[in-house]
Structure 1
Amino acid sequence: MASVQNSNVPDAPRIITPTLEELKASAYHTYNIESALEALNQDGFVALKKVVDVAHVNHLNSFMTKEADELVKNNTKPFKQGVESNILQGPPLKYPEYLYNDVFFNPFVIQIMNAYLGANPIFNLITGNNALPKTNGLRQPIHKDITFFHPQNFLNSCSPSSNPTTHHTNWMAADFWLGSHAYTSGQQQVIATPEARLSNAKLRVGEPTCNVLPEVVEARRQVRPPIQPSCEKGDIMLRDLRTWHAGMPNESENYRIMLALGYQAQWYPNHTMRFKAPLSQGNFFMKHAG
């Protein structure tokens, strides 16, 4: 059965723990599907426990840690959200030994996405975020991962944040504003100005930036303040793209790496968010098409 809430944390997010039968079948039964959908619709967030092989996590972490050393040394990756604590770092897609089905095409994630977004959602994003070590006190601004006007009360893209690849068991990478996905529109985000357009070529003047207006944040804080969920290796966090969040400081000695995969409802006309995969690994990605 699903563990609906961690009673030790007020207003904790819903957690879905698979049964042995579900793990064997690589699919949730009705109760856990219902629990996950309730969480996504009400909170914009749900955690899926123990659905990725920890050995796969460790293997990816080993590669990405070495890569991160080079990225930081050569200053070749931009900081995310303008804060010098997080860099963008995606997974190694060129090498077949790192392309695990339970990471890139997790059957539990695909099952929930088909139920939440409608049949055959579009797999439109692969990226990652690395919180650098000992960045005490540095955190991201509160934001959505959407820089365009979006529906407020309709299904939208959903991004599963795949298990942390750090050496730590517990992980509190971000604060999440549960329920914020269903109550704010693009008009309540900071709107791009010509100056913002110059700093980010992808922004369009008059359209939303990722950041949420400060007065909107403070009003929401009085209704439902943010929480920091913990996560273990092998877990996946599913988040609606509209849900507010912010990367938190990494006070440890190690990189805190997150992989993110994005899905979009078939009917929604978002033609700007997409990823490129290496042609050499086309068979891996295309065999799951549809």
Structure 2
Amino acid sequence: MKISKEELESLQLHDETVELAANLIKVNGYVILEGVLPQEKVAELWEAFKASMDWFIDKHGEEIYLNKKGFNEGTNHLGIFLPFAPPFNDPLVIEHPFALAIIDRILGMDYAVTLFSSNTSLPGGKKAQPVHPDYGTRFGDLCKVSLPITDLVFNIPLVDVHDGNGPMEIWPGGTHLLPDYYYGPNGPNPEELAPHMHSIKVHMPAGSILIRDVRMWHRGTPNRSDEIRPNLALIYSASHRDNTVQIPQETYDNLSERAKHLFRWQKIGYPVIEPTHE
């Protein structure tokens, strides 16, 4: 979706825009708001992310690159928990008005952040990830019906994403609407079905917002370029899940009331972490 100049300047979506975006997620499994973050904010996040990645590779590079076939089974995809500190905890990241308006429409008002992380496709990947949803079944083999959306992934790409630098491939239009037990070990195998189904590779300019149902089938693809392809990644959840985010008390006290509510389930009063492998 392309957002109007008026909406970008006011940081407020028209009600019909919110309704369209929410319905696209419900029906298709995802929506993209193209290039909505200011370029200067994207540049600031990109520089900070590169510094964090350089630090991480300097500390863990040997164990990551030890296998000549690549890491993470040759996909060279790396998830890193980010420190809850500027610029990663900027309001335009953790409580972007566009994203919250859409998520409010789907999850209500009482959800929270349950993941504060990133996903990066590094150069040199030998193969794509397996096709998968991010979360499994809620009720094992017992539930034969499709459940409401309870968790939404929020991504911000820090570079333009195109075919050459490891875009996410998705299977939209129904893979998030399967009966609950389909997401368990006794459900259909996405790897067997996906080659016979329609998929698209998600291209988007830096600073876009991608919101998707965690159940939608997807995979990371190999990065054929010479530069990393990073996404910031948060999950907003209507039910309590993980509490991996460490937030110093002073930092938490200085958040907006909405941000405090969003991070209320996390580790308040703990020191900021260093970039850490998921």
- TM class, shorter-length: 0.7 to 0.9
Percent of residue pairs identical = 22
CA shift in 2, pair 1:99/1:287, >3 Å:
same
Q: Tell me what 1:143 maps to.
A: 132
Aligned pairs for 1:14-163 within 5 A: 16-75=1-60, 82-94=73-85, 96-135=86-125, 137-149=126-138, 152-162=146-156
CA-CA distance at 1:33 after TM superposition: 1.5
Aligned pairs for 1:273-284 within 5 A: 273-279=242-248, 280-284=250-254
- Asked if the contact 1:90/1:127 (under 8 Å) is kept, the reply is yes
Aligned-residue RMSD, C-alpha: 2.7
Give CA deviations for 1:163-222 in whole Å, capped at 9, x if unaligned.
x123x464652101102100253444437xxxxxxxxxxxxxxxxxxxx853x4444554
- Asked if the contact 1:131/1:257 (under 8 Å) is kept, the reply is yes
What secondary structure, in the 3-state scheme, does the structure 2 residue paired with 1:190 have? coil
CA shift in 2, pair 1:272/1:92, >3 Å:
closer
- Asked if the contact 1:152/1:183 (under 8 Å) is kept, the reply is yes
Q: Tell me what 2:234 maps to.
A: 261
CA-CA distance at 1:88 after TM superposition: 1.5
Write the distance in 2 (CA, Å) between the matches of 1:260 and 1:132. Answer: 16
Write the distance in 2 (CA, Å) between the matches of 1:114 and 1:128. Answer: 23
- What stretches of structure 2 of length at least 5 have no aligned partner? 65-69, 140-144, 262-278
- What stretches of structure 1 of length at least 5 have no aligned partner? 1-15, 192-211
Aligned partner of 2:246: which letter? A
- Are 1:182 and 2:180 an aligned pair? no
Give CA deviations for 1:31-66 in whole Å, capped at 9, x if unaligned.
212211221111110001232122222212212223
CA shift in 2, pair 1:21/1:226, >3 Å:
same
Give the TM-score, by structure 1 length: 0.74
May I ask how many residue pairs the two structures share in their alignment?
Answer: 245
CA shift in 2, pair 1:129/1:36, >3 Å:
same
Give the TM-score, by structure 2 length: 0.77
- Asked if the contact 2:75/2:129 (under 8 Å) is kept, the reply is no
